[in-house]
Amino acid sequence: MMDRSHTAQPPAGAQSSPDAAQRKARYISTRGDKTERRFCEILLEGLAPDGGLYLPVSYPQIDAAKLARWRGLSYAELAFEILSLYIDDIPAEDLRAITQRTYTEAVFGTPEITPLKTLEPGLALQALSNGPTLAFKDMAMQLLGQLFEYELARRGETLNILGATSGDTGSAAEYAMRGKAGVNVFMLSPHGRMSPFQQAQMFSLQDANIHNLAIEGVFDDCQDIVKAVSNDLDFKRKYKIGTVNSINWARLLAQVVYYFAGYFQATRSNDEKISFTVPSGNFGNVCAGHVARMMGLPIAHLVVATNENDVLDEFFRTGVYRVRGSAETHETSSPSMDISKASNFERFVFDLLGRDGARVKAFFADALNSQGRFELSPAEHAAIAPYGFQSGRSSHADRLATIRATYQRYGVIVDTHTADGLKVAQEKREPGVPMLVLETALPAKFAATIEEALQVTPPRPAGLENIEALPKRVTVLPVDVEAVKSFLVAHV
């Protein structure tokens, strides 16, 4: 008997593909609100009004002929084709121009945009971290910057993005929005707690629409301030406050593209299957892989790799999803995966449960709020296999060992997050199925741990050698909601 998990597409409810010519791209919430919204209606939004996340009403199906045609496309053209299936309220020529402006060799360093680095036959890294901030979040955020500028101009509106960051997300957002018309960014970070390189990346931006606010507290203080400002609905409306967090559907959609791009580079024919291992935190990256697989991309397995913060690995092994408290959330050497709950995970659970919004709500709103956990039935847990997910976890010692072994064996330096992926990928590889490990950051961003492992300083991309010496544009503020509000009012 064939291994079902290799061949079957899951029995999800809503996959039928209407004729592309009359396609309507519509979005619904994961918590039961069936109001159908268009792409540009949800582009600037976070959560759906009922607290759920947006997903398309159905996943467009990619048949063999279309897959064959896409194989020869440039990254920007491929992005245009995929985005077109999910966006019906931006004219095609505008959308094409947006993708052409976003995915350029000038911004991402190579004509392939996400090139493969083969380690050995059947095992390669897919480089997602050659954008301006050296981490994979640029892949989506750069597109979001273009889409926001386009849509705000079309509406004649402005938006003030307010966020909190401890590193990757904030810098990716600032580099995507810098100089964009109609958008200001106010990014809070814990004063003195980011690495000198991360501080330099953000604070060296001199663009008038980018505002760095260093808060005299910890990351949680920054996040609490953002929440307090956003919960003041009058203020939020008056000053047009928005966010760019990882639950934004457009960010997830942008990430679907590189699964196709990786597949085409790793295979010669569309009869082949490959697997992906994804260093995971909030489940945004690997959720895009899930969407690609639901569209029909021949993916054998999606391997979820976590660090010591193993909420997701525990779920896939046991069917129990248990949110961690702050005392149980570890600060690790792969910090961008240090999560207590995985904010995009609800999207997969919605598909897994046959798109039963009431049941998703019972899990994510009711059970998580009252008990901090939910548990799948044995039948529901067994139903995960056809979706191709596997999982594993990695520790600080594993990261060091993987960074050393990868350097010795292949002469390649990987960053700490990619090392978590590589460690788990080695455990899950199967003969005859190429494995791509998503490289989510460059080692230069996490130099201290690389030095601990290798006694070697990872090279920096050209132009960033002396970034710490550049003039800094940052305002230090106390842990005080009113101080942040006043700053905002004075600078919009």
Ligand X SMILES: *Cc1c(COP(=O)(O)O)cnc(C)c1O
C-alpha–C-alpha distance, residues 5 and 7, integer Å: 6
Which residues are designated catalytic?
Answer: 137
303 contacts 428 by C-beta, under 8 angstroms: yes
Q: Which of 26, 137, 180, 347 binds ligand X (CB under 6 A)?
A: 137
Bridge partners (DSSP) of residue 123 are 120, 435
Q: Binding of ligand X at residue 450 (CB under 6 A)? A: no
Q: Binding of ligand X at residue 281 (CB under 6 A)? A: yes
Q: Binding of ligand X at residue 201 (CB under 6 A)? A: no
> In terms of CB distance, is 229 or 419 closer to ligand X?
419
C-alpha–C-alpha distance, residues 453 and 450, integer Å: 5
Bridge partners (DSSP) of residue 185 are 161, 210
> In terms of CB distance, is 37 or 290 closer to ligand X?
290
Q: Binding of ligand X at residue 283 (CB under 6 A)? A: yes
Nearest one of 299, 322, 300, 302 to 312, comparing CA atoms: 322
Amino acid letter, residue 222:
C
Where does this chain touch ligand X (CB under 6 A) — which range of 152-160, 276-284, 369-377, 429-437? 276-284
180 contacts 149 by C-beta, under 8 angstroms: yes
Per the rule left: phi > 0, alpha: psi between -120 and 50, beta: everything else, 167 is: left
Q: Which of 44, 95, 135, 200 binds ligand X (CB under 6 A)?
A: 135
Where does this chain touch ligand X (CB under 6 A) — which range of 8-16, 181-189, 213-221, 277-285? 277-285
Q: Which of 165, 245, 248, 285 binds ligand X (CB under 6 A)?
A: 285
Q: How far is the CB of 306 from ligand X (least distance, A)?
A: 9
User: H/E element holding 169?
Assistant: helix 168-177
Q: Binding of ligand X at residue 246 (CB under 6 A)? A: yes
Burial class (CB in 10 A: 0-12, 13-18, 19+), 111: exposed
**Total binding residues toward ligand X, as defined by CB under 6 A:** 17
Q: How far is the CB of 169 from ligand X (least distance, A)?
A: 7
Report the largest interatomic distance among the alpha carbons of the chain, rounded to a whole angstrom. Answer: 68
Q: How far is the CB of 400 from ligand X (least distance, A)?
A: 17
Q: How far is the CB of 246 from ligand X (least distance, A)?
A: 6
Question: What secondary structure letter does DSSP report for 367?
Answer: I
> In terms of CB distance, is 270 or 336 closer to ligand X?
336
C-alpha–C-alpha distance, residues 112 and 117, integer Å: 12
> In terms of CB distance, is 217 or 279 closer to ligand X?
279
Q: How far is the CB of 423 from ligand X (least distance, A)?
A: 14
Q: Binding of ligand X at residue 168 (CB under 6 A)? A: yes
Report CA 183 to chain centroid distance, whole Å.
Answer: 21
Where does this chain touch ligand X (CB under 6 A) — which range of 3-11, 84-92, 283-291, 475-483? 283-291
Q: Binding of ligand X at residue 131 (CB under 6 A)? A: no
> In terms of CB distance, is 436 or 488 closer to ligand X?
436
Q: Which of 55, 127, 143, 337 binds ligand X (CB under 6 A)?
A: 337
DSSP 435-470: EEEEE-B-GGGGHHHHHHHHS-PPPPPTT-TTGGGS
Q: What angle do CA 455, 459, 464 make, to 5 degrees?
A: 135
Helix (H) and strand (E) counts for the chain? 22, 15
> In terms of CB distance, is 124 or 141 closer to ligand X?
141
Q: Which two tokens stand for residue 95?
A: 């959308």
Q: Binding of ligand X at residue 219 (CB under 6 A)? A: no
Q: Binding of ligand X at residue 392 (CB under 6 A)? A: no
Q: Which of 52, 163, 190, 279 binds ligand X (CB under 6 A)?
A: 279
> In terms of CB distance, is 198 or 285 closer to ligand X?
285
Q: How far is the CB of 451 from ligand X (least distance, A)?
A: 18
Q: How far is the CB of 340 from ligand X (least distance, A)?
A: 12
Q: Which of 171, 336, 391, 402 binds ligand X (CB under 6 A)?
A: 336
β-pairing, 123-127 vs 435-439, is parallel
Where does this chain touch ligand X (CB under 6 A) — which range of 3-11, 61-69, 96-104, 274-282? 274-282
Q: How far is CA 172 from CA 17, 18, 365, in A?
A: 34, 36, 30
Q: Binding of ligand X at residue 146 (CB under 6 A)? A: no
> In terms of CB distance, is 209 or 390 closer to ligand X?
390
φ, ψ of residue 165 in degrees (nearest 5): -145, 150
Nearest one of 382, 373, 399 to 320, comparing CA atoms: 373
Q: Binding of ligand X at residue 284 (CB under 6 A)? A: yes
Q: How far is the CB of 137 from ligand X (least distance, A)?
A: 5
Q: Which of 440, 443, 444, 447 binds ligand X (CB under 6 A)?
A: 440
Helix ranges restricted to H, 184-248: 196-203, 219-231, 233-238
> In terms of CB distance, is 441 or 488 closer to ligand X?
441
Which residues, in sequence order, are CB contacts of 21 under 8 Å at separation 6+? Answer: none
Amino acid letter, residue 169:
T
Where does this chain touch ligand X (CB under 6 A) — which range of 71-79, 281-289, 394-402, 403-411? 281-289
Q: Binding of ligand X at residue 55 (CB under 6 A)? A: no
Q: Binding of ligand X at residue 417 (CB under 6 A)? A: yes
C-alpha–C-alpha distance, residues 277 and 421, integer Å: 6
Q: Which two tokens stand for residue 172?
A: 């990716």
Chain contacts with ligand X (rule: CB under 6 A): 135-137, 168, 246, 279-285, 336-337, 417, 440-441
